[in-house]
Amino acid sequence: MTKRGRVLRDTNIGPGLLTVEGKQYSFLLEGMWRSEVSPRPGMTVDVNFDSDGAPAEVFAVSESQIAKEQAQRAFSGALRHGEALGGAVTGAIGASVAGGLKRRLGPLTIAAEVILLLAFFVLPDLRVGGFVSRALSGWDAIGLGPQTQMTNDRGFLSLLAIVCLLAPLAIPFLKQTWARWLNAAPVAFLLVACIVVDSQMHSAASAAGNMGEELGGAAGREMAGQFGLTYSLAVGAYLALICAIYLLTRAFKGK
C-alpha cells in the first residue's frame, strides 16, 4: 500500500521522521530511502507500507510530479463540471470562438483530443520492471533517466509534448492551408517519445550489463538482473496511438 506523506526530520542525525495521514513514522536512509536526492524537512514523499502497516520504502516526489497531479485534479474537475465550464469558457472567449471550435473540429475530433490527453497524462502507458516495478503515464515515461527508474526533469521533451498534443486545437484559429497538418503533430510526438524512451531503456540495460561484467560471476549476473529494466506498453499507450492516428487522418482529409 502506497500513501502520500511529508518528511518532518531528515536523517543527518539518526533516523528520519515522516508523517502520513496524521501519524508519524521513523525511517532510515539505508534500506528504505529509494531516491537519489537526500531527504529534507518538508519534502513530499510516497511511502510503501508492508503487510504489518510499517513503512518499507520511501520515495521523494518531485515538484513536477506534484504539479502534474494538481493539473490532473483540475482537469478531472473540469470534466465532471463540463457544462458549467463550457458556459464559462463560452462567455469568456465569445460565442464565435466556441462555434468555430465546434464547426471546424467536430465532436469526433474533440473526443479524440480529450481521450488522447487523458491517455498520455493520466492513464498508465508504460509498465517498467526491474529494481522498482512501476506503471507510468506517458508524462512520467518521458522523464525516465538512463541510469534510474525514477523520473527526472523532462526538459525540452515536456514542452514538445504539450505543444504537439494540443496542436490540433489551434487549427480553427489559423487560416493557412497548412494548418490542417497540425493534426499530424500528436502522432509525430508519440513516435519521438517512443524512440527516446526506448533509448533510455537500452542505456539502462547496457549500464546494468557493464556493472555485471565488472563484478563477474553469479553475483554480477544477479545484480545486472535486478537493476536491468524491462518494459511493456499499457492501455494508455494504445489509446493515445489510436487517437493520434485518427487525428492524422484528419490532416489528409484537409480538416
41: Cβ contacts below 8 Å, ≥ 6 apart: 7, 8, 9, 10
Percent composition of the chain: helix, strand, coil (DSSP 3-state, to 5): 60, 15, 25
DSSP state of 39: P
Report pLDDT for 144.
Answer: 66
Cell of 167: 496542436
Higher pLDDT, 17 or 206: 17
CATH number for the region 2-61 comes to 2.40.50.140
Report pLDDT for 93.
Answer: 42
Using only the alpha carbons of the chain, give its radius of gyration. Answer: 22
3-state secondary structure of 78: helix
Band (pLDDT 50/70/90 cuts) for residue 31 is confident
| CA-wise closest residue to 229 among 156, 140, 126 | 126
Band (pLDDT 50/70/90 cuts) for residue 133 is low
Distances (CA, A) of 207 to 33, 35, 145, 218, 228: 22, 18, 12, 17, 8
State percent of the chain over pLDDT 70.
69
Higher pLDDT, 219 or 133: 133
| CA-wise closest residue to 244 among 182, 197, 196, 159 | 182
Distances (CA, A) of 52 to 36, 117, 190, 251: 27, 38, 42, 56
- Residue 228 scores a pLDDT above 60: no
Q: The sheet that has 126-129: what strands, in order across it?
A: 134-136, 126-129, 230-233
46: Cβ contacts below 8 Å, ≥ 6 apart: 2, 3, 4, 5, 58, 59, 61
29: Cβ contacts below 8 Å, ≥ 6 apart: 11, 16, 38, 39
Element (H, E) at 70: helix 63-80
**Is the pTM value of this prediction over 0.85?**
no
Distance between CA atoms of residues 227 and 123, nearest Å: 25
Distance between CA atoms of residues 185 and 159, nearest Å: 13
Phi, psi angle pair for 39, to nearest 5°: -70, 145
Looking at the chain, the domain(s) classified CATH 2.40.50.140 span: 2-61
